[in-house]
Structure 1
Amino acid sequence: MILVTGATGHVGRPLVDLLLAAGQRVRGLTRDPSRAGLPEGVEAARTEDLPLDGIDAVFFVLAAFPEGPAELIRRAREHGVRRIVALSSYTALDDDPKNFIAVRHRDLERRIEESGLEWTALHPAGGLAVTALEWREQIRATGVARGPYARAHSAPLHERDIAEIGARALLTDELLGTKPLFSGPESITYADRARLIGEAVGRPVRFEEITHDEARKEMAEVGIPPGAIEARLRMFAQLVDAPHPISPVDRFLGRPGRTFRRWAEDHVADFT
């Protein structure tokens, strides 16, 4: 049986579907199993209970365990879990001790490498397309997406592409002991993201650039930790007018990655 942490999350939910389609038994962790809405056949359990009996492999996301993987790894050893696949971040390649996001993911990777379990650490690069959902209320109400650094580039990944690579790491031995790096198929600006969402929903969407300080204040108001705020803003500033390197998913999936246009078309309902 495979345990998916964050089973109702942006990556976890499509991963659950992929594992079921592959004939796997799945246990999904969520804060409230009664409201999870997971597919029939999935065993839903509370994240805080962390039931590992009968589990052979784990898909781990820090968003579900903000305190880190130490307790899960300890209990995984006790229960005979064989493999852990962690959704890490390409920021782990940054050794700057002031980069809060990088520090957390470097610690995650160190712990799974030292766990004694089979491991893979996924390095999605270029950003996740789903971060554009932060704009959904603004776009619905005003047709405007607010954010800093309109000309900052990214190579956003469709969450399903990440889930498919995660499924491969869980179901085959091809990625054992590796840190596969992959990005979306194209470098686009944040202003481009807004435009492409508008084209998908059939009405103009305009990007409204706000200042660094305004962005810091808005991020703090929605509960983003100060260290993460500074890391994100510093990254955005460095990417202004700088096309993002592309690391194609083709070598993992045998096909090109889904574009941001495709992502926007898949998420029209979120913006209308």
Structure 2
Amino acid sequence: MSINENGFSERKTILVTGATGNVGRYVVSQLLDMAVPVRAVVRNPGSVDLPDGVEIVRGDLAEPSTLGETLAGVGAVFLVWPGLPTSLAPAVLDELKKYAQRVVYLSSMSTREGRAQQAEPITDFHATIEKLIEGSGLNWTFLRISGLATNTLGWAQQTRSGDVVRWPYAAAARTLIHEKDVAAVAVQALTSDRHNGAKYILTGPQVLTQAEQVQAIGEAIGRPLRYEEISPEVIRPKMLTQLPPAMVDGMLNAWAGFVREPEPISSKVEEITGTPAHTYKEWAIDHARDFS
């Protein structure tokens, strides 16, 4: 593989949206490790902290007209749709397909095939974006992930100030996935056409209740933690200060559902990357500093 004067391989550039996010940061770093040229599109280039070797460009998915100059020479796009209206997606996809051949979209495991409307607003949102991508003319891969383990960083304020995590649905059982593993699959899909048209279910390797997750965090930080279950009615007002009502209710309903029916386990991470998915305990060790 030849190397150009900038030290990059002659492969086409990969554009990463959400490059400063939980998954996007690992997509960027893992692509750099493979000597693949990476371009990160951000709204404010002067305020981001990304590794050396990343080309940082200004652009905003909320303003599709700003994307044109960011796409020259791009072969594939890692797409995270950050809660923007789905009505913007057709214009964004029109810009992407002028240059790129492939899009890898970060979606949700709860998306169900063949439904006119999904069970929850968040799932309906992802299903809509998936449908638009399918009709765009681009090659695509959908990464339908279980809950990101990083979502449990929402407990960090409680663990830093005490030894009790107060939260609803202690028995909600999930297969939370390490952001490293999502990124590892994304990198495979971004750099090979073997994954075109795939809808991958990606999960962690084990089912843990929320109470067991808190226990794993305690082990990682060397301090016993206790899960104190509270009613959803108690936590809902606090969640509403940060999230819209439909999203809050969707999350609470999902956790209630995981008490009755735990999330399934998928082996796709290992099948695609050749490496077993990280356990939640490994994730907690990686993030121990955040909780202590």
Could you say which residue in structure 2 is the equivalent of 1:101? 122
What are the superposed Cα offsets for residues 78-133 of structure 1, whole Å, 9 maximum, x if unpaired?
A: 3x2111110011121174545101110111110110010111111112x1100111
What is the root-mean-square deviation of aligned Cα atoms in Å? 1.5
- Number of aligned residue pairs: give it: 268
Unpaired stretches in structure 1, ≥5 consecutive residues: none
Please give the alpha-carbon distance, in whole angstroms, between the structure 2 residues aligned to 1:22 and 1:243: 36
Please give the alpha-carbon distance, in whole angstroms, between the structure 1 residues aligned to 2:118 and 2:109: 15
Residue from 17, 26, 32 that aligns with 1:5: 17
Amino acid of the residue matched to residue 58 of structure 1? V
Kept in 2: contact 1:5–1:47 (CA 8 A): no
Alignment TM-score, normalising by the size of structure 2? 0.87
Kept in 2: contact 1:91–1:102 (CA 8 A): yes
Amino acid of the residue matched to residue 124 of structure 2? V
Kept in 1: contact 2:111–2:118 (CA 8 A): no
Please give the alpha-carbon distance, in whole angstroms, between the structure 2 residues aligned to 1:148 and 1:182: 25
Determine if the alignment matches structure 1 residue 216 to structure 2 residue 259.
Answer: no
Determine if the alignment matches structure 1 residue 40 to structure 2 residue 52.
Answer: yes
Kept in 1: contact 2:121–2:250 (CA 8 A): yes
Determine if the alignment matches structure 1 residue 129 to structure 2 residue 143.
Answer: no
Residue from 163, 166, 188 that aligns with 2:186: 166
Q: Where does 1:78-97 land on structure 2 (aligned, <5 Å)?
A: 78=98, 80-93=99-112, 95=115, 96-97=117-118
Kept in 1: contact 2:18–2:24 (CA 8 A): yes
Structure 2 SS opposite 1:269? helix
Amino acid of the residue matched to residue 107 of structure 2? S
Question: Aligned-pair distance for 1:37?
Answer: 1.0
What are the superposed Cα offsets for residues 195-221 of structure 1, whole Å, 9 maximum, x if unpaired?
A: 100100011122222211122212111
- Structure 1 residues 241, 188: CA separation in 2 closer, same or farther (over 3 Å shift)? farther
Question: Aligned-pair distance for 1:21?
Answer: 1.0
Please give the alpha-carbon distance, in whole angstroms, between the structure 2 residues aligned to 1:123 and 1:29: 23
Structure 2 SS opposite 1:135? helix
Question: Aligned-pair distance for 1:36?
Answer: 1.2
Could you say which residue in structure 1 is the equivalent of 2:97? 77
- Structure 1 residues 110, 251: CA separation in 2 closer, same or farther (over 3 Å shift)? same
Identical-pair percentage: 39
Structure 2 SS opposite 1:56? strand
Please give the alpha-carbon distance, in whole angstroms, between the structure 2 residues aligned to 1:241 and 1:98: 16
Please give the alpha-carbon distance, in whole angstroms, between the structure 2 residues aligned to 1:236 and 1:262: 23
What are the superposed Cα offsets for residues 179-207 of structure 1, whole Å, 9 maximum, x if unpaired?
A: 01121100000011111001000111222
Q: Where does 1:198-217 land on structure 2 (aligned, <5 Å)?
A: 198-217=218-237
Deviation larger for 80-89 or 246-255: 246-255
Amino acid of the residue matched to residue 46 of structure 1? R
Unpaired stretches in structure 2, ≥5 consecutive residues: 1-12, 61-65
Deviation larger for 151-160 or 205-214: 205-214
Could you say which residue in structure 1 is the equivalent of 2:30? 18
Question: Aligned-pair distance for 1:241?
Answer: 5.3
Alignment TM-score, normalising by the size of structure 1? 0.94
Structure 2 SS opposite 1:2? strand
Residue from 66, 73, 83 that aligns with 2:84: 66
- Structure 1 residues 243, 107: CA separation in 2 closer, same or farther (over 3 Å shift)? closer
Please give the alpha-carbon distance, in whole angstroms, between the structure 2 residues aligned to 1:250 and 1:192: 24
